[in-house]
Amino acid sequence: MATTRRQIDDFWLLKRLAVVGVSRDPKHFSNMIWQELRQRRYEAVPVNPNARELDGQPCFARVQEIQPPVEGAVIMTPAGVTEQVVRDCAAAGVRHVWLHKGAGGGPGAVSPAAVAFCEANGIDVVAGYCPFMFLPGTPFFHGLHAFAKKLTGSYPR
């Protein structure tokens, strides 16, 4: 099923989000997404099994460990582990996930098995888009990325 603009808008109405796969490196793209969400007043909770804390915030190994629970998850993992992450989201009661994919090519966090699992288990999935493309006031490059998707007909309707 193709992602719709309504799914994207509904996702951004959520206020408490896990960012799964956030890097310990502050210059890594996943860390930038996490920081941007925090600046925009989302309760963005980092998930990385190799960190106990990021920027003074508690970091969790798995989505199920987060208390209180999150409403949604931005998944920034390699595609090979995404199916397990969406299974973790289902176990934690998370009903909205965003599988990141940037402009650099490759699958990003998107895997056919993860998308199929979400669809079969009633999890609303935004698959294959960079979150920055849909946040107002982001840098020019992200707007350019959205414009290119519109030109190619791959921008969600």
The enclosing domain of 52 has a CATH number of 3.40.50.720
Q: Does 77 reside within a domain?
A: yes
Q: Does 35 reside within a domain?
A: yes
pLDDT tens for each residue of 81-134: 999 999 999 999 999 999 998 666 678 999 999 999 999 999 999 998 888 887
Q: What is the pLDDT of residue 64?
A: 97
Q: Does 47 reside within a domain?
A: yes
Domain encompassing residue 60? 5-152
Cut 0.85: pTM above it: yes
Domain count, the chain: 1
Amino acid at 57: Q
